[in-house]
Structure 1
């Protein structure tokens, strides 16, 4: 809890949760609690009437330190949940982390509406979840962690966590992380039948992943999923680097481009073959420009925004 600069106008009677005393300022910085029934006046300290507000930021920092996610605190007044961070266990992969603020059914709806894929939702208490909300949570691959079940306060008032939630989170990550085995990458986009290269759109999300759209099929893919991973060190290949440079030129590369070099000729051939295998589209995805002095992507490609 964090104290505010406001003071309460009433305080509870000692030993009672239902009887409240009115507080008045008797003189500058001197406050009196009035017992109307007994006709008594008792001086009270400002610490007894200070108004506290829950420190969402502090809770977020503690959760982030325990689970290892990045803090991205975004809260709007009256939202049923708020995003408090992003869990990124692997480059190019991220799961938004939400914290329940109001009813759990509304919090689940809020999280699913703002997530493109799997997400993590931290629930305050043990409010029961109805069948409809549970089905929605499962359909959107959401992980629900109940704060009361894995967090408590120690003797110093510090927040401590049990290992049970970490085990759940690790299982969630393992289930939803893509296959990054360099020897057997998960290659293959669900390209609709009859598509050509001009139907393909690629936009870089970050240095390790791209968002791909082909008609109504869309998804975020790591370099490893596209077969552009070095089997020796699991790092992106030179072909992935070339694809990123094409994105910086919005699909065009000439001898005036910063990344132009003679080695790109072979790299382009390998990149084209890899893209054909990934999308299962015939033809050359990267062709010579009309003046034969550069290359242009037949598909649309954009850099990270």
Structure 2
């Protein structure tokens, strides 16, 4: 049953890529429409003798296509989230615990958090261009998850606490998902001056605000994650903190987002400086996730 369920992850990769393609097509469609409107205004300004006949059907068709693409882009993301939720549910029913015990399971859960938070911010702020940065990250993580060992193994003694396992990692995946969204907003902010002006990009101040709001979600969840991890470490290993590589990486991540919020509120940091801090923050998130491959430690199983 588990081998069959893994096809759901493959289907999720396809669905995420389809959502990304719809987003790209939507951006291209909006750009072409802007170009056509510019040319139409130019013709009108030439004079009455050069006035081009209006084609209402063609003009009405462009917004209709954009609306359809927008619907499909969101629909594919929802489908991806449903597929991944189904896979996680099946895996939980087989293993008897949350899908957080190895790299494959956490990579899948990481993507689940990214899709959930991205959908929330997309619907809340109507910024579909975020997906052009966020969805490639999700797709790469899913491909990575498929390349890992997907077998079910008994939990090591340190993980045999279903409540703390679920809470600690559950807060982590939502925090990481929000961090990815803030990263997406920061990247669009930094690229804004060099991207074509006719793309349907939000204003830079809007992207700045979205990045900040996503970081506001990230920081408290990281705090809860670290506190729960410390409690769990004391239960499993007899100490609250041991400067294990993954613990240290998590602390660095927490400090970066804490510093971002501090300078944002106290010194009103905005613009490129703030955007670069969010990019660095997500790099530390990825390091916290992948770093144990290189440094080992007590978290080398995850």
TM class by shorter chain equals: under 0.3
Work out which of the two has the higher radius of gyration on C-alpha atoms and give 1 or 2: 1
- Normalised TM-score (structure 1): 0.25
- Judging by fraction of residues, say which structure has more strand: 1
TM-score relative to the length of structure 2: 0.25
Larger proportion of helix: 2
